[in-house]
Structure 1
Amino acid sequence: MDRESVRDAERVPHGGTTDRDVLDLSANTNPRSPPGTTAAYDAALGGSRRYPDDDYPEFREAAAAVVDVDPAQVVPTPGGLAAIRLALATAVDPGDRVAVPTPSFGEYAREVRLQGGEPAFVPVDEVLDVDPAEFAVVVVCTPNNPTGSLPDRPDLVALADRCADAGTRLLADEAFLGYTEQASLAGHRAVVVARSLTKLYGLPGLRAGYAVATGPARDDLATARRAWTLGAPAAAVGTHCLRQRGFVRDTREAVRRERRRLRTGLEPAFEVHPSAAPFLLLDCGGRDVDGLLTAAREQGVVLRDARTFRGLDSHVRIAVKDAHATDRTLEVLDVRADDA
């Protein structure tokens, strides 16, 4: 990390609220966690009187099975953002340029700057066409946050191949990919994948995730990773959740259903971006965004002010959760959906 750059850096706004008395649709997290999660945590808590096994064999095996790679390619991290920082810290030198999609997750640019690098902002629908030779790292978010767009996998693989030829790292943030049927880029020689348990498993406070890489990139990540990067409860709960394939299938179907209902209800009143993610991005057009957010908050529903994303000036993001959340959103925004 570049010391001078740290002094100039700023925090990035995020969704989420600590108010337990509201319906929080500003954070894209599953309202459910896999059955047995609490029991797994309780069972692991007693083991916290000792240091965890720093190799994390069970966690790595479970994560590897999810993305279909060898467990040796998995590097445990305390959340997906920690995997992103680790990937950039081991690839970006001061002055390096990094292709960063926009609008997208604000932490990419911040993490690049913390390393002394220069984020080169690229419209999200043009990232696949960049020349990797111009950058130390190219970042993709699949599906993209906040737009929900998901490039076809062959197009992503083609970009990864070009990155390999140029000696450029492709950082693939797959925080939301588990909500889709699309296969991970994990295992490609040019790619570092970042994943978390935050979104799909509904555990943002646990702080568990992992990076996946091959060859020298994997070795760099493994060496730079802090010792005991996961606490014993996080490792145990993470291992348990990563093995719950039925829970993931049920979650995917529920999100598809509620996303369709929510979109159908919102489209008469808003421009709604197509999405493969557990959220929808709304262009409010001439509406008063501040007024909309305030009115929703006064009725106990918190939406995400998407104007904090670079390039958006009239947008709101709404998390897709369960049927109650869909119904409540449409009620608060004074729109109706059919039951399709």
Structure 2
Amino acid sequence: MDPDSVEGVRASGGDGPEDAIGPDGRVPHGSSDDPDVLDFSANTNPRVPPGAEKAYRAAFEAARSYPADDYPEFREAAAAFVDCEPSQVIPTAGGLEAIRLAIQTTARAGDSVLLPYPSFGEYAREVRLQGATPEFVPHDELLAADPASHALAVVCNPNNPTGEAADPAALRNFADRCRAAGTTLLVDEAFLGFTDEPSLAGREGVVVARSLTKLFGLPGIRMGYAVGTGDERDRLATARRAWSMSAAAAAVGAHCYRQTEFVAETKARVERERARMRERLNARFDVFRSDAPFLLLSVSDADASVDDILASAREAGIAFRDARTFRGLDSHIRVAVRAPEENDLLLDALDV
């Protein structure tokens, strides 16, 4: 990472107000640390797999020593979940570290990187920290873009904050075109586990970034990994920090990926609740189609301002995500799909 680029991001605050990079060079994220607030701003599962706490506690003794740096048990469990080879799995402390590792090992100063918008703000930040330049394309047009002049292209699948999953055939066609052009494709699959869509993990020329924290409701443990093949995999493995995942994260992650019944129940609940919420919310908002555990709402000026909605929800003890921090969105909020009884509280607070 170029120190001058770091200073540039910190000093400039990104490419205008749409980047929403603060004076410390960081981008906003969902989640509230107020224990008295029902948090609909973060998209993590409100339920955790059975036995997760026991697995976490059982890892205490192992945590007194350095973990085995090859993480065989975690790699095998992750590979089985996404259908790739264990050797292709590169463990990281969360999905964000996997994204950073992929960008650091691909983009050089002066390179161009193809990015979707509106989408996760960290992509542009990580690209700029490398001294590279983001080129933004509407998220629903990116798969038709020409990757030839870019060192890297990034796809968020399903896209955050809009929620749409990419068309599988179009995504694979884009991956083939990226490979033919010599452009690495980074696919952020943080929310793909909530769908029945297959992963691109193990596909040549593609780096997949995965996070367990969304699907299994354990963001504080920091469980994630990248998947690569060939030269991409070798660069990831070379640049990865030693002991890049804690013993507790590796143990809990391996346990979670074996909970097939929990995963199936979670996907069914999210699909059912998302449809129910969307039907109710459509009475007041324009609601984006979503395949993810969240919904993006467009707020009409005739109804109320985003600030008014956020404030009234806060008075009711509920936190939403102010989606105006995403590039290209100026009157939007994003809400998570949580447990049915919690979703009822949200719908009542929004008077729908």
TM range (shorter): over 0.9
d(CA) in 2 for partners of 1:242 and 1:221? 22
For residue 82 of structure 1, the aligned residue among 97, 101, 121 is 97
Aligned runs of 1:159-170 on 2, under 5 Å? Answer: 159-170=174-185
User: 1:338 maps to which residue?
Assistant: none
User: 2:246 maps to which residue?
Assistant: 231
User: 1:133 maps to which residue?
Assistant: 148
Amino acid at match of 1:180: T
User: 1:26 maps to which residue?
Assistant: 41
Amino acid at match of 1:259: R
Contact 1:94 1:115 in 2 (8 A): yes
Shift of 1:8: 2.0
d(CA) in 2 for partners of 1:173 and 1:114? 19
Could you give the per-residue CA deviations for residues 296-322 of structure 1, whole angstroms, max 9, x where no partner exists?
Answer: 001000000000000000000000011
User: 2:7 maps to which residue?
Assistant: 7
Contact 1:261 1:326 in 2 (8 A): no
SS in structure 1 of the partner of residue 209 of structure 2: strand
1:150 and 2:171 aligned = no
For residue 62 of structure 2, the aligned residue among 47, 58, 61 is 47
* Cα RMSD for the two superposed structures: 0.6
User: 1:330 maps to which residue?
Assistant: 347
SS in structure 2 of the partner of residue 63 of structure 1: helix
SS in structure 2 of the partner of residue 150 of structure 1: coil
Contact 1:132 1:166 in 2 (8 A): yes
Contact 1:76 1:211 in 2 (8 A): yes
Aligned runs of 1:177-256 on 2, under 5 Å? Answer: 177-256=192-271
For residue 297 of structure 1, the aligned residue among 303, 314, 336 is 314
Shift of 1:178: 0.3
Give the unaligned 5+ runs of structure 2: 10-24
SS in structure 2 of the partner of residue 133 of structure 1: coil
Runs of at least 4 residues off by over 3 Å: none
Could you give the per-residue CA deviations for residues 16-42 of structure 1, whole angstroms, max 9, x where no partner exists?
Answer: 011111110000000011000000011
d(CA) in 2 for partners of 1:46 and 1:72? 26
d(CA) in 1 for partners of 2:94 and 2:217? 12
SS in structure 2 of the partner of residue 186 of structure 1: coil
d(CA) in 2 for partners of 1:47 and 1:190? 36
Amino acid at match of 1:5: S
Shift of 1:262: 0.5
Give the unaligned 5+ runs of structure 1: 336-340
**Residue-pair matches, total:** 335
Amino acid at match of 1:140: V
Could you give the per-residue CA deviations for residues 120-151 of structure 1, whole angstroms, max 9, x where no partner exists?
Answer: 01100110011111110000000000000112
Shift of 1:243: 1.3
User: 1:93 maps to which residue?
Assistant: 108
User: Identity, % of aligned pairs?
Assistant: 61
d(CA) in 2 for partners of 1:70 and 1:125? 31
Amino acid at match of 1:295: S
User: 2:88 maps to which residue?
Assistant: 73
User: 2:21 maps to which residue?
Assistant: none
d(CA) in 2 for partners of 1:226 and 1:244? 28
Amino acid at match of 2:3: R
Shift of 1:246: 1.1
User: 2:330 maps to which residue?
Assistant: 313
Amino acid at match of 1:175: A
SS in structure 1 of the partner of residue 140 of structure 2: helix
Shift of 1:48: 1.1
d(CA) in 2 for partners of 1:325 and 1:114? 39
Shift of 1:108: 0.2
d(CA) in 1 for partners of 2:154 and 2:135? 10
SS in structure 1 of the partner of residue 295 of structure 2: strand
